[in-house]
Structure 1
Amino acid sequence: MIEKKIIWNLKKFQTYNQERQRMFAEASPKEANQILYLLPWMLSVNHPRVPGYMKDAEKNFRVYGIDRSKNILEKAPLFCRMFGVGTNLLFQKKDSLLIEGLYSIGSAGTLAQTQDSDCDIWVCCDSRLIGREGWKALQKKINIIKDWLDTNCRMPVYFFLSDLEAIRRGDFGQALDESSGSAQKNVLKEEFYRTSIVIMGKVPFWWVCWDTDGDMPYGNTWKQLEENRRISDELVNLGDIEKVSSREFLGAALWQLHKSLTSPLKSVIKMTLLRMHLDRPDEALPCQRFRDQVLRGEMDFQDPMGFSMELILQEYGRDLPRTEHQLMVRCFYLRCGLTSFEQKKPIRKKQTQRFVTIAGLSREACFELDSFEEWDAARQMRFGKAMLLRLFRFYEDIVRRATGVASMMDTRDLTVLGRRITAIYQKKEDKVVHLPRPGYAFNLKSLEFVWMEDYWNLYPGSDRQLPFLAGADILEAVTFAVWNGLYNRTSMRMEPNPSSVSLQEIINLSEKIKDIFGVCDVAERDAEVFLRAERFTKVLVVISFEKSPYEKDINDLGVIFSNAWGEIYVRRFQSPFALASFMRQYRKGNPSLEVYYYLQRNASYYEKIIERTKRLTALTLGSGSL
């Protein structure tokens, strides 16, 4: 009886998996052909002309089931011709080491797959069977194939060689390289079971160990099946998943928050799923509920990302205020790159229509979101600020929940995350503010500096409704533009005005600032930096920027300085002595402080002014660079 149920479930899963493969191929035909068919073939052959060749290999590797794959057998002659091989390599008689299966994890073959998506692939083996040397050889073969794919496949592909027993234990090795440092083993396994495609190989036993009555214990059922090799040989035991602890959810939520600092849209679905389960720790996991839906077969095909978004909207979103709900729907729509006029991809079109209906999006709202890439900068800014507020609320909630649950590692992560957020978004005296954005570059035809007699405003092109920056000093405005990635020397503009500042000098100073400080990179900085004090690391002294180039005296000095956390500040001084006093404050504890200088190149007393300023700062900080 159990065997019949398993076989029935296996057929259901295989039908679902074929739809996932079709959805992948629909989104990226060339890349899907390389990943779904060429990759298993390259792993299963060994020839000098084929990527992955191992010269001294005593045994080949072979992905389970490749000999019976109709698609690969049909394509094998084409692959042979592609690499100039005359024989069908799959049927060469030689002992082989078994690769249990190749599995994708993540957005590939889902609604969330976009033109920028990558593909993470688990290569699963039994290390006891292939041995230490076989493991090393397989890793080398994978690396060679990856080098070829990096050159020939538009979609970035990342491989994670994984041992069956390690996966059962929840030890994912290099597959957890991206973790925030906290234990996330079951969070990753949940995502794997929910989003994976079986590219080639055995079907995870978890997917078919299911009964409508719930009476199919994982361990006992596997033991019974092992006696019937005809069935168990088609399955791979990667371990069960029943619950995910609050601490694991917390660790995963922290990692998603880190990622959202630079790409809020890319993290929005995972982040909201994690938040939902922090609110409802005793409910069934998304992967379990998704398996129920697939194996019951009562509904048409639905991809896992569409399912996840629907689950969130129906069970979490219904309790949100209307504006919060609308923001979440728009984030999902934009994250997946959906479009209401999809015509060439029928599977994606059907999944999109289902989401739009569930989300309650009007035709007008869809058209508005479809034109997101053409939104003006002001609208992008407003959307970015709304996402930022949502991010802050999520962070505050995580901090509250961490009490009594967080491990030492989680506490460290919370400290680092809090200081990253502080470095990017907290307002401080003289600090250059960071401009929130939805994860894409602003649509800027030009960046315009407008003088308002006592201060400067910075506008996105000719639009004067919402400035990027208002009431700013010119040094702050220039630094703001560079630091926020708005600077482009070909699109800089300045409204005619009677000040002594020229557009060329703005461009020259911008280049200098960019060379020294770069752009805001707080989210990419090493975590250890945020466990230490935010000491200052670089200083740029700007001399007489707003004065006539014929001015001889040094009475207009600006300082642009950054610290190890990635914050950047601007200060102005009216005399060399005020500057010297300020610089003296930062001498202690900063032996490696880098000092640079900027003065208009056409200044009549250029050399003299530079030397005088250098001598002044040398008294406190040592010599610097121009």
Structure 2
Amino acid sequence: KAVLDMEEVPGDILETQTDIKDPCVLGFYHIGSLGTFTQSAQSDFDYWVIIDRTGFTEQRYYNFEKKLNHIVKFARENFDQEVTFFIMDQADIRKDCYAGFEEPETMIAPKLFLKEEFYRTFLMIAGKIPIWTILPANMPQGTYDRLVGHLFRQPELAFLLKDFLDLGKVEMPSVKDIYQGIRWHICKSKEDPVKALLKATMILSHITNEKDSAMLLCDQLKQKFAKAGIDDCESDPYKIVFDRVLHYHQVHAPDGLKLIKTAIFFRLCGYPKVRLPEPGSPKKQLIDKYIRTWNVPPSQVKKLISYPNWPEQGKQLLDSTLIQRLAGMYEQISAKGKAIEKNLPPAEQRNMKILNNKVKERLNKEAGKIPSSSNFLTRHSFPFLSIKENSMGEWILSAALSNTIHDSVLHTSKTFLGLMGWIMENRLYRRDKTQIKLKTRLKLYESNAQAVSTDALYLIMQPVKPLFDGCFEYDARWTKILILLVCPSARFGVTQVELLALNSWGELFLDLLRLDTEGVLDDRYRKIADKINQYAGEEIRLFFFQMAQNRDENAVYGIKQFLAERFLMHRPGTAKRTRPMLDKL
């Protein structure tokens, strides 16, 4: 309503020819942590919008998406709240198909566990009630189908059942589902490693043959809910997740029990902005119960609560420990999972290849790759950043709370591009919210004598992360190389070259070439060209910058002469010796 009152929505997308008594939107539901023990200021606002696709033309569907996009924009700009709408067709969801409007399904998320989480956590905002909620728990698929079909065919129940819809039943997960789910949460660990570990462990618990693990959590919740009283916190959708993962580690993975307890503690305390819940709240009561049951000493509780004040290295160590545990779970199931993948249909094999490559990128620790910061730092917003070079030649990044007051050192690097790459990798610079001060006696130049700011480097490399998953269908290839010629003195020319290389998977790599200042410039230019030529690829784009007191107008031209065989711009039929060098022109 607020969006409409502000008249920000074009009138053409508000037109409708459908009677409100016969709506095409069947249900509107929130899915996730809202209303549970794990609700926090960082909770997602994710909504499932269930439609009857037969009631939509392509134009009408487009208009509907536009309306929702205006709500997303309004929430972001006015409340700094991210909202996501997932529009899905009821008939497709019943068959576990998550395709777009008249589009093929491209899905790397674990479909079975998406529906399980929906049934376990959904809050109905408007529309029809999923009929799954009123049927007995743990019902076999065949029985469910026959019962639902019979109910909807009864004329005497027609009036009652008009308020219900069938989204299908959730089957017990197969090895393929478990394998896919764990890999998916390895990818999601970039956003929240604590949540990813808890969800992946819940999924892995299904590989055991125990009776408790043979029931889906949504069915277990339905059984508890039928017997629960008012404010019965034992029936919380995430409390039963905690119970399941604790039991799994106690019986099957005791080495990881301490880590999973830490993850539960942080999840209840609003990780990464960790703080104790409000006194007297159900969440605080649950934490107090865990502290007593686990015999956690006060000193350990104090240490965990002080997480926001941990040094960055300590936060990174926790994140890497969580990810290593996820990687171990992946190895535990990978042999069975890979064997099953070979027999999948081509469309699913494509999706699995995309997922495999995303996991490979997430777990890649190759030398030279720009590392991740802690999850805490990635989510923090800094209005001011300061970059300076100390007397030892190291580059230091500091976070500033104002123009004059600087906070602690966030990162150090032996190279300038190493520091800039770290800022880009971890999204610490937001153009509309962050200012960077570069404190150095040298200036940064691009293609003319006018000095530029660090923002020019940032813009050149955007987007760092892929906008779509399709690039992971193929092996990573180099796409951009940022080349910085460092010239501390005009007398000695280029003394070293820093290269920041970006590949199609969104990985940044740092390379460094130190040069002999006693050698002639042409020899140095040739060595620089040889270093650049080590990065193979037909579509690589090169971006040259200089860090110097004054820009050397001949340096880039001299290097490109040695790159002529690869990067020379020419017209068909132009003799090689007369092909123009565009930068020189």
TM-score bracket for this pair, using the shorter chain length: 0.7 to 0.9
Contact 1:103–1:196 under 8 Å retained in 2:
yes
Contact 2:130–2:164 under 8 Å retained in 1:
yes
What secondary structure sits across from 1:441 in the alignment? helix
Partner Cα separation in structure 1 for residue 294 and residue 501 of structure 2: 47
What secondary structure sits across from 2:303 in the alignment? helix
**Identical-pair percentage:** 16
Residue number in structure 1 paired with 2:458: 514
Q: How far apart are 1:238 and its partner, in Å?
A: 2.4
1:189-239 per-residue CA deviation (whole Å, 9 max, x = no partner) reads: 212111111223433222221279999943454425744346434433322
2:122 aligned to which of 196, 207, 225: 196
2:244 aligned to which of 311, 323, 342: 311
What secondary structure sits across from 2:221 in the alignment? helix
From the superposition, tell whether residues 258 and 200 of structure 1 become closer, same or farther in structure 2 (CA, over 3 Å): same
1:382 aligned to which of 301, 317, 323: 317
What secondary structure sits across from 1:104 in the alignment? strand
1:596 aligned to which of 543, 546, 551: 543
> What is the letter of the counterpart of residue 216 of structure 2?
L
Matches within 5 A, 1:207-356: 207-210=133-136, 217-222=143-148, 223-224=150-151, 226=154, 227-229=156-158, 231-279=160-208, 283-297=214-228, 300-301=232-233, 302-321=235-254, 324-338=256-270, 341-343=276-278, 346-350=281-285, 352-353=287-288
From the superposition, tell whether residues 375 and 127 of structure 1 become closer, same or farther in structure 2 (CA, over 3 Å): same
1:52-101 per-residue CA deviation (whole Å, 9 max, x = no partner) reads: 9887645432xxxxxxxxxxxxxxxxxxxxxxxxxxxxxxxxx5447543
What secondary structure sits across from 1:268 in the alignment? helix
From the two aligned structures, give the one with the greater helix fraction.
1
What secondary structure sits across from 2:49 in the alignment? strand
Report the count of equivalent residues.
529
Partner Cα separation in structure 2 for residue 554 and residue 213 of structure 1: 73
For normalisation by structure 1, the TM-score amounts to 0.68
Residue number in structure 1 paired with 2:577: none
Residue number in structure 2 paired with 1:181: 107
Partner Cα separation in structure 2 for residue 333 and residue 104 of structure 1: 25
What secondary structure sits across from 1:194 in the alignment? helix
What secondary structure sits across from 1:110 in the alignment? coil
Q: How far apart are 1:434 and its partner, in Å?
A: 1.0
What secondary structure sits across from 2:378 in the alignment? coil
Q: How far apart are 1:404 and its partner, in Å?
A: 1.6
Partner Cα separation in structure 2 for residue 149 and residue 427 of structure 1: 36
Matches within 5 A, 1:116-135: 116-126=42-52, 131-132=55-56
Partner Cα separation in structure 2 for residue 126 and residue 559 of structure 1: 52
Partner Cα separation in structure 1 for residue 113 and residue 334 of structure 2: 19
Residue number in structure 2 paired with 1:621: 567
Partner Cα separation in structure 2 for residue 98 and residue 609 of structure 1: 64
- Is 1:150 the counterpart of 2:73? The answer is yes
Residue number in structure 2 paired with 1:81: none
For normalisation by structure 2, the TM-score amounts to 0.72
Residue number in structure 2 paired with 1:568: 509
Contact 1:425–1:433 under 8 Å retained in 2:
no
Deviates more, 1:373-382 or 1:440-449: 440-449
1:430-449 per-residue CA deviation (whole Å, 9 max, x = no partner) reads: x2441352354388997775
Residue number in structure 2 paired with 1:396: 331
Q: How far apart are 1:569 and its partner, in Å?
A: 2.7
Partner Cα separation in structure 2 for residue 193 and residue 625 of structure 1: 60
Partner Cα separation in structure 2 for residue 425 and residue 98 of structure 1: 43
> What is the letter of the counterpart of residue 140 of structure 1?
N
1:350-402 per-residue CA deviation (whole Å, 9 max, x = no partner) reads: 55555656666555444433333332223212222222322332333343332
1:509-562 per-residue CA deviation (whole Å, 9 max, x = no partner) reads: 85564343369x457664425613534632414143xx4x24145554444444
Q: How far apart are 1:182 and its partner, in Å?
A: 4.5
Residue number in structure 2 paired with 1:60: 19
From the superposition, tell whether residues 277 and 204 of structure 1 become closer, same or farther in structure 2 (CA, over 3 Å): same
Q: How far apart are 1:274 and its partner, in Å?
A: 1.9
Q: How far apart are 1:253 and its partner, in Å?
A: 2.8
What secondary structure sits across from 1:532 in the alignment? coil
Partner Cα separation in structure 2 for residue 211 and residue 473 of structure 1: 60
Partner Cα separation in structure 1 for residue 103 and residue 296 of structure 2: 38
Partner Cα separation in structure 2 for residue 291 and residue 262 of structure 1: 30
> What is the letter of the counterpart of residue 223 of structure 2?
D
- Is 1:531 the counterpart of 2:474? The answer is yes
Partner Cα separation in structure 1 for residue 337 and residue 140 of structure 2: 33
Residue number in structure 2 paired with 1:12: none
Q: How far apart are 1:187 and its partner, in Å?
A: 2.4
Residue number in structure 1 paired with 2:526: 580
From the superposition, tell whether residues 400 and 183 of structure 1 become closer, same or farther in structure 2 (CA, over 3 Å): same
Runs of 4+ in 1 over 6 A off after TM superposition: 46-55, 175-180, 211-216, 442-448, 486-489, 503-509
- Is 1:438 the counterpart of 2:375? The answer is yes
1:109 aligned to which of 23, 35, 55: 35
From the superposition, tell whether residues 456 and 165 of structure 1 become closer, same or farther in structure 2 (CA, over 3 Å): closer
> What is the letter of the counterpart of residue 144 of structure 1?
K
Matches within 5 A, 1:354-503: 361-406=296-341, 407=344, 412=350, 415-416=353-354, 419-420=357-358, 423=361, 426-428=364-366, 431-438=368-375, 440-441=377-378, 450=390, 452=392, 456=394, 473-475=414-416, 477-479=418-420, 481-485=422-426, 502=441
**Unmatched runs of 5 consecutive residues or more in structure 2:** 400-407, 446-450, 569-580
- Is 1:165 the counterpart of 2:98? The answer is no
What secondary structure sits across from 2:549 in the alignment? coil
1:151-179 per-residue CA deviation (whole Å, 9 max, x = no partner) reads: 15734433344443333222233499999
> What is the letter of the counterpart of residue 74 of structure 2?
T
Q: How far apart are 1:294 and its partner, in Å?
A: 1.1
Partner Cα separation in structure 2 for residue 449 and residue 543 of structure 1: 13
**Unmatched runs of 5 consecutive residues or more in structure 1:** 1-37, 62-94, 494-500
> What is the letter of the counterpart of residue 150 of structure 1?
K
Residue number in structure 2 paired with 1:16: none
Partner Cα separation in structure 2 for residue 178 and residue 362 of structure 1: 54
Q: How far apart are 1:316 and its partner, in Å?
A: 3.5
Partner Cα separation in structure 2 for residue 48 and residue 426 of structure 1: 47
Partner Cα separation in structure 1 for residue 321 and residue 102 of structure 2: 31
From the superposition, tell whether residues 203 and 427 of structure 1 become closer, same or farther in structure 2 (CA, over 3 Å): closer
Partner Cα separation in structure 1 for residue 556 and residue 32 of structure 2: 56
Partner Cα separation in structure 1 for residue 362 and residue 167 of structure 2: 41
From the superposition, tell whether residues 552 and 390 of structure 1 become closer, same or farther in structure 2 (CA, over 3 Å): same
From the superposition, tell whether residues 297 and 176 of structure 1 become closer, same or farther in structure 2 (CA, over 3 Å): farther
> What is the letter of the counterpart of residue 264 of structure 1?
P
Partner Cα separation in structure 2 for residue 211 and residue 594 of structure 1: 57
What secondary structure sits across from 2:529 in the alignment? helix
What secondary structure sits across from 1:607 in the alignment? coil
Partner Cα separation in structure 2 for residue 336 and residue 344 of structure 1: 13
Partner Cα separation in structure 2 for residue 280 and residue 554 of structure 1: 66
Contact 1:250–1:398 under 8 Å retained in 2:
yes
Q: How far apart are 1:341 and its partner, in Å?
A: 4.2
- Is 1:542 the counterpart of 2:485? The answer is yes
> What is the letter of the counterpart of residue 73 of structure 2?
D
